[in-house]
Amino acid sequence: MTVGLGKLNAKVSEFLFDQVAMTHRFVVQIDMAEYDLGTWTRVTGLSVSWSKHTYRPGDNNDELVFPGNISYQPVRLSRAACSQSAKVQRWLKDTSRSHTPLSGGIHMLDYLGAPVITWELKQFFPISWAIADFDSTAARPAIETLELAHSGFLDDEAGRGGAL
């Protein structure tokens, strides 16, 4: 069976643009729209892990393995300091003394600005903010970093004792 050259080129092009040549950016929106945190160039910490529980019944050497408690790492956002940094500063000032857990999404956008995937963070709040040292002779921007603690991004409420 032969594949036409046009179909092959289309498949190669689709693969290249979907997998290799994509440059991502991230938009962070929260449920208080006046504080949407803007566009970020780097996101780290989007990870989830489960503790491992084992059980060995009786004198049997067969070990049973079960997933245990779930844990999420803090999410760290980074970008060059910009005009959107002022909105982050207002949000930090307004939330520093009052703990109001928020929800929102981190949206990954492709090189055209089209959404690729969204992680919905539940009950998040800021745990740190920093800006890199200012050095005008380094010929690179000052990097702003915001770290958020959260209670998850998986839609796993049934696993937390919610309705089945």
Q: What letter represents residue 54's amino acid?
A: T
Q: Which residue carries 């760290």 as its tokens?
A: 76
Query: Biggest alpha carbon distance in the chain?
Result: 69
Structure tokens at 75: 């999410």
Contact 36, 87 (CB under 8 A): yes
Provide the whole-model pTM: 0.74
> pLDDT averaged over the chain?
81
pLDDT (mean) for 68-77: 94
Contacts 24+ apart (CB under 8 A), 14-21: 21/111
Confidence of residue 5 (pLDDT cuts 50, 70, 90): low
Would you say residue 94 has pLDDT above 60?
yes
pLDDT at 114: 87
- State the CB neighbour count (10 A cutoff) for residue 120: 14
Per-residue model confidence as pLDDT tens digits over 100-144: 778 999 999 988 888 899 999 999 889 999 998 888 888 888 999
